[in-house]
């Protein structure tokens, strides 16, 4: 029986039998639909990608104000398109390890201060030139220059000097950083000829697709680049197209009627409906992004750790996850890291909703009167509901919360990082060190919980320079415990990226780094015949 099924599944993979017929035959043979589907998926994988055709994505997050310059990529559409035409030095694999692209190998000296990146020899730019170490240096120089307004400026500030050495680039850092390869995985650092200094908007790099159409806020198109250096892995379709569809209903309809093959940002509240559409697969990926409630540790009344603890214990995370995210996420533990990060410290006890303990700490804090919590629709989808839910669970613990709904305009300039208790979001970072360095050290501009502890800063720097993974993991555990029990951060949940693919789309690889398989969905998927 299984032999027959296997034979049939290969026929489907080759396009000689329809999927529906296959499932019908499988059911007749007494195999459950789930088992038949997984058999089919492995057969399709084994048959290898189908080349050719046009893959279309309908994506949220594009404006007519966008430009191609990768330094300025902030929107989802630009991010996804840059993964089609751009090539990076390295990127991260779904398991958190480093995937080497233009850099063939990255090694450091013993104390992680000098890093040598060996540049692959056979990589060609779309304009026919070969990628050289000089192009790599020029790219990093441009992004490290304030004038480029690059979003990667911050992560390049630790570089002291760069020089080419044969086919390698040698980078000397100001301070030790064991995470240097992860810094190079930043999606803004697309390698361009002469670093893009001549024309940052030219859209020329060494990715699997050449830029063919660039209509900001409307659509983008890529034409297969014949000399792509690893065409066996990426770039199966002949053309890729991105249509900017910011309205969620229109996006779903476009997928349903087959006008696009994949979409991003399916809203949690409609996932169960989208799932039922025939041929559509929900691709939900646990990411590193989270939705925090931020308290300023240096501002009354939140400068009192007993009050902070009471507020943490009064959070009903499970209910919050079910109600606001419909279960599409995972529960947080009041530190900004989850198991999607490399070197995640396991075994830290989960903080639960505990009305008695919350009451105890609240009484101990000596605080009385209501506490003002600011929220807005732009903080994250469902942020207003989340604040109201929290108000109710706090009421059960005898804590009065006053919810203030702020206008979305100006929320990031006037409320977030300015007011002592508010809702926000963080997209997560490739490594724990980057997350802590961005928002939880004394000198960080975006220290949105005013967590200013010299002892903690020291731990961050120590862990950053530690090349021994076990020791490093232990340090991260200590840091997590400290944040969890003393920090100003309440993390009810980490979110998921919820994408969806349509009929016949194969090869989607989930990656916790970002939505749409870290932006590679268009390049790594193919249309089954």
Partner 1 sequence: MKSPLAKLVAQRVGLSVILLFAVSILIFVGTQILPGDVAQSILGQAATPEAVANLRESLGLNQPAYLRYLEWLGGLLTGHLGNALSNGLPIGPDLWQRLKNTLFLAFWAAAISVPLSIVLGLIAVRHKNGFIDKMISATTLLTISLPDFFIGYLLIYFIAVKLGWFTSVSTVFNGMPFLQRLEAVVLPATALTLVVLAQMMRMTRAAILNVMQSAYVETAELKGLSRFNIIWHHAFPNAVAPIINVVMLNLAYLVVGVVVIEVIFVYPGMGQYLVDHVAKRDVPVVQDCGLIFAAVYIGLNMLADIFAILSNPRLRHPK
State the residues that interact with partner 1 by CB under 8 A: 58, 63-67, 74, 146, 149, 151, 213, 215-219, 243-247, 249-250, 253-254, 256-257, 259-260, 407, 409-410, 412-414, 416, 445
Helix (H, G, I), strand (E, B) or coil at 226: coil
Closest approach of partner 1 to the CB of residue 453, in Å: 22
- Choice between 418 and 469, CB closer to partner 1: 418
- Choice between 217 and 327, CB closer to partner 1: 217
Closest approach of partner 1 to the CB of residue 413, in Å: 5
Closest approach of partner 1 to the CB of residue 294, in Å: 13
- Choice between 373 and 439, CB closer to partner 1: 439
Distance, in Å, from the CA atom of 488 to the CA atom of 294, rounded to the nearest integer, reads: 6
Distance, in Å, from the CA atom of 82 to the CA atom of 384, rounded to the nearest integer, reads: 33
Distance, in Å, from the CA atom of 351 to the CA atom of 312, rounded to the nearest integer, reads: 8
Closest approach of partner 1 to the CB of residue 201, in Å: 9
For 109, 161, 327, the CA distances from 177, given in Å and listed in that order, are 11, 14, 37
Distance, in Å, from the CA atom of 475 to the CA atom of 406, rounded to the nearest integer, reads: 38
For 183, 428, 461, 512, 518, the CA distances from 515, given in Å and listed in that order, are 19, 12, 30, 8, 5
- Choice between 119 and 489, CB closer to partner 1: 489
Tokens 């233009």 — which residue? Answer: 102
Interacting residues of 2 by C-beta distance below 8 A, sequence separation 6+:
none
- Choice between 213 and 467, CB closer to partner 1: 213
- Choice between 69 and 87, CB closer to partner 1: 69
- Choice between 73 and 433, CB closer to partner 1: 73
- Choice between 212 and 482, CB closer to partner 1: 212
Chain center to CA of 211: 24
- Choice between 2 and 64, CB closer to partner 1: 64
Helix (H, G, I), strand (E, B) or coil at 526: strand
Which of 450, 168, 179 has its CA nearest to residue 295?
450
- Choice between 210 and 308, CB closer to partner 1: 210
Closest approach of partner 1 to the CB of residue 56, in Å: 9
Closest approach of partner 1 to the CB of residue 144, in Å: 14
Closest approach of partner 1 to the CB of residue 338, in Å: 21
Q: What is the DSSP string of 314-355?
A: T--HHHHHHHHSTT-EEE--SSS--TTSTT--TTPPPP---H
The alpha helices in 97-178, defined as continuous H runs, are 133-144, 153-156
Which of 438, 458, 443, 186 has its CA nearest to residue 337?
438
Q: What is the DSSP string of 158-203?
A: TEEEEEEETTEEEEEESS--TTHHHHTT-TT----GGGG-S-TTS-
- Choice between 344 and 412, CB closer to partner 1: 412
Closest approach of partner 1 to the CB of residue 279, in Å: 13
Which of 305, 402, 398, 394 has its CA nearest to residue 353?
394
Residue 163 CB-density burial (10 A; 0-12 exposed, 13-18 middle, 19+ buried): exposed
- Choice between 75 and 177, CB closer to partner 1: 75
Task: Count CA atoms within 13 Å of residue 162 on its CB side.
Answer: 18
Closest approach of partner 1 to the CB of residue 67, in Å: 5
Closest approach of partner 1 to the CB of residue 269, in Å: 16
Closest approach of partner 1 to the CB of residue 383, in Å: 14
Sign of the dihedral through C-alpha 268, 270, 273, 278: negative
Closest approach of partner 1 to the CB of residue 216, in Å: 7
Closest approach of partner 1 to the CB of residue 247, in Å: 5
- Choice between 318 and 419, CB closer to partner 1: 419
| CB of 25 closer than 8 Å to CB of 11 | no
Interacting residues of 268 by C-beta distance below 8 A, sequence separation 6+:
324, 325, 326, 327, 328, 381, 382, 498
Q: What is the DSSP string of 262-302?
A: EES---GGGHHHHHTSTT-EEEEEEEEEE-PEEE-TTSTTT
Tokens read off for 422: 């508010």
Q: Quick count: other Cβ atoms within 10 Å of Cβ 452?
A: 15
């Amino acid at each position: 029986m299984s032999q027959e099924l296997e034979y049939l599944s290969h026929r489907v993979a080759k396009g000689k039998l329809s999927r529906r017929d296959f499932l019908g035959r499988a059911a007749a043979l007494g195999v459950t639909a789930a088992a038949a589907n997984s058999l089919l998926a492995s057969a399709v994988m084994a048959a290898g990608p189908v080349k050719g055709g046009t893959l279309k994505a309908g994506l949220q997050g594009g404006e007519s104000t966008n430009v191609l310059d990768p330094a300025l990529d902030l929107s989802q559409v630009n991010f996804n398109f840059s993964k089609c035409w751009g090539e990076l030095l390295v990127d991260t694999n779904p398991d958190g390890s480093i995937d080497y692209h233009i850099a063939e190998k990255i090694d450091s000296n013993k104390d992680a201060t000098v890093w040598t990146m060996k540049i692959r020899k056979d990589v060609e730019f779309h304009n026919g030139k070969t990628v050289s170490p000089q192009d790599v240096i020029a790219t990093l120089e441009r992004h490290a220059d304030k004038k480029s307004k690059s979003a990667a400026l911050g992560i390049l500030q630790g570089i002291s000097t760069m020089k080419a050495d044969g086919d390698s680039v040698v980078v000397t850092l100001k301070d030790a950083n064991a995470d240097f390869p992860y810094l190079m995985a930043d999606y803004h650092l697309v390698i361009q000829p002469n670093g893009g200094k001549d024309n940052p908007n030219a859209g020329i790099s060494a990715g699997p697709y050449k830029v063919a159409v660039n209509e900001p806020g409307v659509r983008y198109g890529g034409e297969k680049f014949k000399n792509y250096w690893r065409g066996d892995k990426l770039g199966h379709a002949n053309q890729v197209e991105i249509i900017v569809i910011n309205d969620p209903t229109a996006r779903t309809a476009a997928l349903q009627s087959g006008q696009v093959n994949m979409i991003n940002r399916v809203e949690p509240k409609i996932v169960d409906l989208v799932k039922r559409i025939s041929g559509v697969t929900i691709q939900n990926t646990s990411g590193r992004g989270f939705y925090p409630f931020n308290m300023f540790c240096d501002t009354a009344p939140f400068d009192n750790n007993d009050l902070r603890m009471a507020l943490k214990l009064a959070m009903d995370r499970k209910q919050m996850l079910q109600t606001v995210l419909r279960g599409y996420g995972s529960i947080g533990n009041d530190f900004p890291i989850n198991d999607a990060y490399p070197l995640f410290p396991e075994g830290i006890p989960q903080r639960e909703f505990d009305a008695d303990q919350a009451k105890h700490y609240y009484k101990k804090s000596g605080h009385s009167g209501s506490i003002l919590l600011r929220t807005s629709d732009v903080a994250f989808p469902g942020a207003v509901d989340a604040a109201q839910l929290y108000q109710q669970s706090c009421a059960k613990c005898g804590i009065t919360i006053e919810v203030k709904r702020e206008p979305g305009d100006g929320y990031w300039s006037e409320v977030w990082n300015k007011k002592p208790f508010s809702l926000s979001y963080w997209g997560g970072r490739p490594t724990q060190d980057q997350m802590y360095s961005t928002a939880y050290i004394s000198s960080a501009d975006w220290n949105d919980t005013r967590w200013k502890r010299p002892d903690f800063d020291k731990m961050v720097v120590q862990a950053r320079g530690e090349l021994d993974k076990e020791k490093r993991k232990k340090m991260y555990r200590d840091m997590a415990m400290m944040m969890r029990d003393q920090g100003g951060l309440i993390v009810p949940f980490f979110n998921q990226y919820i994408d969806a693919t349509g009929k016949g789309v194969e090869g989607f690889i989930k990656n916790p780094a970002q939505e749409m398989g870290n932006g590679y969905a268009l390049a790594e998927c193919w249309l089954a015949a």
